[in-house]
């Protein structure tokens, strides 16, 4: 018997309340992630702008790993939520167990690639400053062993979210971020480990978070399954279905990061000040994509359960409510980036006026696409909850290829310089948001407008 309580059942109850019930803890987790990133950057900025740039390079490789941990996390979110909606607890359990197995295997493989190939990976950016390249390589070598732990944590988070319980992973992941935030300045300054201290704090937090989530999965009173084995024989049918769902999203994420690296390499030709400024501006802009990412995961779980149960009226209403909420958030972030750029930059890089000026200019350009970026997450999450992962992936891959093309074009055929790169990033992101939201709206017209007559809850 599954342990799905009424409050975690997303197929009944007030829609807005249910969305917020799942979304707020996920958003809280994302906010804590952003707070950690900003805090880490704040302390590294007290070392030097080069330290900020070095962590930014490694951050791109950690971002690249998202393409692979999505197999565990999103596979669990979709598989568990749809199985619960259909009233199939044994299948939900199978999806959860195999998602963790996938996380262990892929996390170990990524760690091995990062450790063995660190010199070549950092060399991709053709960094001119030898100290900066050395710091980036050192940072990557320290955080890489934590990859399997992070992958397992993401898979377990997906299980809880798919079951409608996002609060438990919020508490645990939040504690991990807080541990990281406390350890980082201690290891950077009193322990005199500098940038290596920030990397070690991250690895320790990965370990603590993974252990706590494993304990919660087996002992927490609101755990989705009363009995769950970690050592299992792989179910190839389940694994095949997970890869079918997640492969388009993984390719999307992988190409997005690789193409972002290509643009970052172009930014690097403008010097370390440009790199530091883009790093800070991107982290501040994460007010949009981290919050929207949390809400998108909530929508995936909400739509997944209701899709499994055949409750289309709830899916349509949930999409409308989510759109209005994210539209409001997009307006607020737009105003913050447009008018608050200089003050935000000085908060993180207080002693370099050139970095502040570049970063503030970048934020003003980014401000114009925050609303499309917010509604993009709503449409992508709704598509994925129905198992239609290919649609958002097509729009993302296409516009990110366009981003690189625009970046090279503006760099080589105009006098825009660094501004051209910033404009290319913003234009492609804005187009992506408009495209996927419009696509969902058109696709939604073909969906049933009423619930299936036989949709009766079977969960116990």
Per-residue pLDDT tens digits for 350-395: 878 898 999 999 999 999 999 999 999 999 999 999 989 899 989 9
Q: What is the pLDDT of residues 300-342, one digit of tens each?
A: 889 998 998 899 999 999 999 999 999 999 999 999 999 998 9
Q: Is the pLDDT of residue 453 over 70?
A: no
The answer to whether the CB of 35 falls within 8 A of the CB of 177 is yes
Q: What is the pLDDT of residues 48-66, one digit of tens each?
A: 778 888 888 888 888 889 8
Domain count, the chain: 1
- The tokens describing 15, both together, are 């829609």
449 falls within a domain: no
Residue 61 CA to residue 66 CA, distance in Å, equals 9
The answer to whether the CB of 449 falls within 8 A of the CB of 310 is no
212 falls within a domain: yes
Q: What is the pLDDT of residues 222-257, one digit of tens each?
A: 898 988 888 899 999 999 999 999 999 898 888 888
What is the per-residue pLDDT for 460?
34
Q: How far is CA 162 from CA 300, 311, 313, 361, 385, in A?
A: 8, 17, 20, 40, 10
The answer to whether the CB of 76 falls within 8 A of the CB of 158 is yes
Mean pLDDT for the chain? Answer: 88
What is the per-residue pLDDT for 454?
55
124 falls within a domain: yes
- What is the pLDDT confidence band of residue 458, given thresholds at 50, 70 and 90? very low
Q: Is the pLDDT of residue 159 over 90?
A: yes
What is the per-residue pLDDT for 123?
87
CB-CB neighbours of 220 under 10 Å: 17
State the average pLDDT over residues 276-286. 83
- What is the pLDDT confidence band of residue 3, given thresholds at 50, 70 and 90? low
Q: Where would I find the H helices in 87-146?
A: 89-116, 118-123, 130-143
387 falls within a domain: yes
Cα atoms in the Cβ-side hemisphere of radius 13 Å centred on 419: 8
Q: Is the pLDDT of residue 276 over 60?
A: yes
456 falls within a domain: no
The answer to whether the CB of 422 falls within 8 A of the CB of 359 is no
Give SS3 for 62.
Answer: helix
The answer to whether the CB of 77 falls within 8 A of the CB of 161 is yes
Beta carbons within 8 Å of 236's beta carbon, 6+ residues apart: none
Q: What is the pLDDT of residues 71-127, one digit of tens each?
A: 999 999 999 999 998 889 999 999 999 999 999 999 999 999 999 999 998 888 777
- In 3D space, the residue among 255, 299, 300 whose CA is nearest the CA of residue 428 turns out to be 255
The structure's pTM equals 0.75
Residue 419 CA to residue 426 CA, distance in Å, equals 11
1 falls within a domain: no
457 falls within a domain: no
460 falls within a domain: no
Domain membership of residue 363 as a residue range: 6-444
**What does the DSSP assignment read for 294-323?**
HHHHHHHHHHHHHHHHT-HHHHHHHHHHHH
């Amino acid at each position: 018997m599954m342990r799905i309580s009424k409050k975690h059942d997303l197929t009944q109850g007030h829609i807005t309340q249910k969305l917020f019930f799942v979304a707020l803890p996920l958003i809280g987790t994302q906010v804590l992630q952003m707070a950690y990133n900003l805090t880490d950057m704040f302390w590294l900025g007290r070392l030097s702008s080069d330290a900020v740039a070095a962590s930014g390079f490694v951050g791109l490789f950690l971002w690249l790993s998202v393409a692979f941990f999505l197999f565990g996390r999103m596979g669990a979110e979709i598989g568990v939520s749809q199985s619960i909606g259909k009233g199939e607890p044994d299948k939900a359990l199978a999806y959860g167990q195999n998602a963790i197995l996938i996380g262990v295997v892929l996390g170990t493989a990524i760690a091995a690639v990062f450790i063995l190939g660190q010199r070549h990976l950092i060399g991709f950016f053709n960094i001119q400053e030898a100290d900066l390249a050395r710091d980036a390589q050192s940072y990557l070598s320290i955080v890489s062993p934590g990859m399997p732990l992070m992958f397992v944590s993401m898979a377990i988070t997906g299980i809880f979210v798919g079951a409608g319980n996002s609060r438990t992973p919020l508490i645990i992941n939040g504690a991990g971020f807080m541990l990281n935030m406390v350890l980082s300045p201690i290891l950077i300054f009193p322990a005199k480990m500098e940038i290596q201290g920030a990397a070690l704090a991250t690895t320790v937090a990965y370990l603590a978070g993974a252990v706590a989530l494993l304990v919660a999965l087996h002992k927490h009173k609101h755990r989705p399954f009363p009995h769950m084995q970690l050592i299992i024989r792989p179910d190839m049918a389940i694994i095949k279905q997970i890869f079918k769902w997640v492969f388009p999203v993984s390719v999307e994420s992988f190409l997005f990061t690789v193409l972002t690296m290509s643009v970052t390499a172009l930014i690097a030709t403008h010097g370390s000040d440009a790199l530091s400024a883009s790093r800070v501006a991107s982290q501040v802009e994460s007010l949009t994509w981290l919050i929207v990412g949390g809400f998108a995961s909530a929508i995936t779980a909400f739509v997944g359960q209701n899709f499994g149960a055949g409750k289309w009226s709830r899916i349509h209403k949930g999409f409308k409510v989510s759109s209005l909420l994210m539209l409001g958030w997009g307006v607020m972030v737009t105003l913050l980036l447009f008018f608050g750029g200089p003050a935000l930059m000085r908060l993180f890089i207080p002693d370099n006026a050139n970095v502040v000026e570049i970063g503030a200019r970048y934020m003003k350009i980014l401000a114009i696409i925050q609303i499309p970026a917010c509604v993009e997450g709503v449409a992508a999450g709704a598509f994925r909850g129905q198992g239609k992962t290919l649609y958002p992936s097509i729009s993302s891959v296409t516009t990110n290829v366009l981003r690189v093309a625009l970046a090279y074009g503006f760099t080589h055929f105009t006098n825009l310089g660094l501004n051209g790169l910033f404009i290319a990033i913003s234009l492609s992101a804005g187009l992506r948001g408009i495209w996927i939201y419009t696509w969902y709206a058109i696709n939604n017209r073909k969906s049933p407008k009423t619930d299936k007559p036989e949709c009766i809850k079977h969960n116990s």
